[in-house]
Amino acid sequence: MDSQDSLDTGGAPLLITFFVALPFACPLQHGAVISRNFEEPLRGCEAMETRATEESDPLEGNRRDKIFASLKFWQLKDTVDLADSFHGLLQVIHDVTGIGKAPQEKAELPRDTYRTVVEMVTVQNADKLSDKDAALSEAFERCFGVLADVYSMSRLVKRDGLSPHVGIEQVQAVYWFGRIPGNRYSGDLGGLMWVSPPPHVPSDTFDSDGFQKLETLLGRLWNGSPLELAMERALVANQYLRQQGDYSNAVIHAALSSEIVLDALLGMLLWEEQIEDPDVTAAVDVFDEAKNGGLASRVKREYGPRLGGNWNPSVNGPVRRWSEELAHLRGRIVHRGYRPSRREAERALEVSDELLDFVKGRLALKSKTYPRTCLMILGEPGLRRIGGWKWANRFLAGTDEHPLSWFSGYSKWRDAVDFARAGG
């Protein structure tokens, strides 16, 4: 039955039980049960008797015919071995200092701890069972959503010795079993369900090309480039989304990445405009939020006249999608504590990438007017790929300035702008 693409129950709903081993222990007592009812009606099971366990709250009459998720926590006592990284540490210490000796056997922690396995029970209506994979995925996500809430709130109760965030992306596989209400479980209806692919484990170190790229990035960063910081936030956003399942932080860091790009872009344009007549006055006025508004106002007012294109957040395009699906969502998370769905987080990262592509495209068209900014943000490879290398290359051939000096020059100028804005 596990190999079939549908789950035929003859019109009856399907009770589904998932068993998942948590990557981090959850501190509920052994055997604790927590249940939640949802608004979706449960159909075809009117005659099924529903009983609350001793640990559960009483079921209201109008909640007995709703889709539910019920979680039972199994705490398995175990003595935990130290991680292999600790033995690697001892090995390096021995190799470098000659002190001690390389460990031959794994040491053990001087205390007992436990592992948490969660038994998750939910139900799917018969009309959703034609696509087995979709039905199982939806059911598991429903249960895991309840688990995420339990885990999150248990951290508030415990407060000390907090474990890391737990997300669905940290679970590689679960076992599931299904049964029609009134029947017993059988081995014919169930199996192993892959949830997330195994995490990537590097198999080698940098080659010479990789090391050269690293040195290039470090040179840019240490000379004041803000763009590597934006790239770092984008990478962290992807890690939160795809490895940790922390959708709120994924959106927040995607928003940070976009804001750093937009801020750096306008800053560099203003910096290049004043090179022949050095001054910070115009930039101080542009970035004065008390007089001229915040980032959204600057995007609408400052970018179009310099780069052309549609920068109006009220008109359909990359800027509008960034404003509505990333910036606004980030505001809901930060100010209201809103918890976005995985799809909302995925979309937020997508529109962040769309905005970056839009920025690159507009900037490349202005390589004659802003050659330094184009070379700082796009570089020769980007300008060759997108366009604009002709004018940028002509500028490079006619100057003895080194591009790395532009980053340090911009960084010092921007520090002076921020100092003046602060009343210095």
Report d(CA 413, CA 14) in Å as an integer. 65
- pLDDT of 109 higher than 70: no
The whole-number pLDDT of residue 99 equals 67
- Per-residue DSSP letters for 242-302? III--HHHHHHHHHHHHHHHHHHHHHHHHHHHTSSS--SHHHHHHT-HHHH-SHHHHIIII
Which of 83-97, 231-245, 301-315 bottoms out in mean pLDDT, i.e. has the lowest? 83-97
- pLDDT of 381 higher than 80: yes
pLDDT band, residue 151 (cuts 50/70/90): confident
- pLDDT of 247 higher than 60: yes
The whole-number pLDDT of residue 423 equals 80
The whole-number pLDDT of residue 388 equals 94
Note the pLDDT tens digit of each residue in 218-233: 988 988 899 999 999 9
- pLDDT of 122 higher than 50: yes
Q: Helix or strand or coil: residue 71?
A: strand
Measure Cα distances from 287 to 107, 294, 296 in Å.
Answer: 57, 8, 12
**Beta carbons of 141 and 168 less than 8 angstroms apart:** yes
Note the pLDDT tens digit of each residue in 62-71: 456 889 999 9
Mean pLDDT across the stretch 193-219?
Answer: 81
The whole-number pLDDT of residue 202 equals 65
End-to-end CA distance of the chain: 73
Which range among 88-102, 196-210, 347-361 has the greatest average pLDDT? 347-361
Residues 272, 277, 278, 279, CA torsion sign: negative
The whole-number pLDDT of residue 9 equals 78
Note the pLDDT tens digit of each residue in 320-331: 999 999 999 999
pLDDT band, residue 57 (cuts 50/70/90): very low
To the question of pTM greater than 0.85 for the whole model, the response is: no
The whole-number pLDDT of residue 110 equals 60
The whole-number pLDDT of residue 56 equals 46
pLDDT band, residue 417 (cuts 50/70/90): very high
Mean pLDDT of the chain: 85
Q: Helix or strand or coil: residue 353?
A: helix
